Amino acid sequence: MRIAIVEDDSVQAQQLKQWLVEAGHNVHWHNSGSSFNQAISRESFDLAILDWNLPDTTGIELLKKMRADDITIPVIFMTSRDAEEDIVSALQTGADDYLVKPARKAETLARIAVLERRSAGYQEQAKTLHYPPYTLNSEHFTVECNGETIQLTHKEFDLARFMFQCNGRLLSRGHILESVWGLNPDVTTRTVDSHMSKLRRKLALTPEHGWRMVSVYQFGYRLESLTDSAIT
């Protein structure tokens, strides 16, 4: 997953980042609310881990803004505040989980894994995935549409699988680069745009097939199902 950490204590942030990177996640650390707000206005994430007390705001205020802006990614609070009313307040505001510092590695990773399994974009990696009228075969890197086989390169297939699994979500170019190519999102490249154009053409992602690839200026892409039958 692509995870944002919002924590002003650099020692705690680096420890958490190390745990997450070792577990295979991509991690972006922000030491203030303003830094995180700037990032989330131009980038997408799969999960945010928020501290409560920050130099310029609070985790609660950040969460309120996220939910008001319709940013629905899972959020975990990781804070030293352990009062019941604080926990209840965070959960009622829209947090998905709450961990009291000092954090414990195994528990932290387990709770993140639970949220990852619940996330709509991260299903089990089955060999065959169905998104009518498309069927993706991970063994042969092919896609079938209404029984017709479409040959893709390995990277085109990886991109198709990622976009279908995250269908309905607006994904930044940096998020896509990091997740599909393993590249630093700061790298200046047209790779995402050129591959997305090829994918849209090869798969004929059109309303006639019940899907639409939407490009959002200066942000990224969203694959939209135009029916209620998007099944994985």
Residue 68: what pLDDT? 94
CB 79 within 8 A of CB 87: no
Counting as low any pLDDT under 50, the low residues of the chain are: 121-122, 231-232
61 Cβ neighbours under 8 A, 6+ residues apart: 33
Q: Which of 12, 60, 66, 74 is nearest to 37 (CA)?
A: 66
- Split into its structural domains, the chain has a count of 2
CB 167 within 8 A of CB 178: no
Q: Identify whether 231 is part of a domain.
A: no
User: pLDDT per residue over 117-175, tens digit each?
Assistant: 877 544 555 678 899 999 999 888 889 998 899 989 999 999 999 999 999 999 999 99
Q: Identify whether 199 is part of a domain.
A: yes
- Here the CATH number for the domain that contains residue 59 is 3.40.50.2300
Residue 140: what pLDDT? 84
Q: 177: which DSSP letter?
A: I
Residue 118: what pLDDT? 79
How many secondary structure helices (H) and strands (E) does the chain include? 8, 12
148 Cβ neighbours under 8 A, 6+ residues apart: none
Q: Sheet of 26-30: strands edge to edge?
A: 26-30, 2-6, 47-50, 75-79, 97-100
Q: Are residues 154 and 89 in the same domain?
A: no
Q: Identify whether 190 is part of a domain.
A: yes
CB 211 within 8 A of CB 223: yes
Residue 170: what pLDDT? 94
Is this structure's pTM higher than 0.75? yes
Residue 229: what pLDDT? 52
Could you give the CA distance from residue 48 to residue 77 in angstroms, rounded to a whole number? 8
- Here the CATH number for the domain that contains residue 141 is 1.10.10.10
Q: Are residues 109 and 200 in the same domain?
A: no
Residue 178: what pLDDT? 92
Residue 232: what pLDDT? 46
Q: Identify whether 232 is part of a domain.
A: no
Q: Identify whether 165 is part of a domain.
A: yes
Residue 141: what pLDDT? 85
Could you give the CA distance from residue 130 to residue 137 in angstroms, rounded to a whole number? 9
Q: Are residues 110 and 136 in the same domain?
A: no
Residue 129 CB neighbour total at 10 angstroms:
20
Point out the domain boundary residue: 94, 118, 142: 118
Q: Identify whether 123 is part of a domain.
A: no
Point out the domain boundary residue: 97, 118, 139: 118
Residue 121: what pLDDT? 47
Q: Are residues 177 and 87 in the same domain?
A: no
Residue 207: what pLDDT? 92
Q: Identify whether 230 is part of a domain.
A: no
Q: Are residues 113 and 49 in the same domain?
A: yes
Q: Are residues 23 and 103 in the same domain?
A: yes
Residue 16's domain comprises 2-118
Q: Which of 91, 103, 231 is nearest to 167 (CA)?
A: 231
Q: Identify whether 200 is part of a domain.
A: yes
Residue 48: what pLDDT? 98
Q: Are residues 113 and 188 in the same domain?
A: no
184 CB-contact burial (10 Å; exposed 0-12 / middle 13-18 / buried 19+): exposed
Q: Are residues 102 and 144 in the same domain?
A: no
Point out the domain boundary residue: 99, 118, 137: 118
Q: Are residues 161 and 203 in the same domain?
A: yes
Q: Which of 11, 13, 10 is nearest to 78 (CA)?
A: 13
Q: Are residues 15 and 102 in the same domain?
A: yes
Q: Are residues 74 and 144 in the same domain?
A: no
Residue 124: what pLDDT? 52
Q: Are residues 48 and 139 in the same domain?
A: no
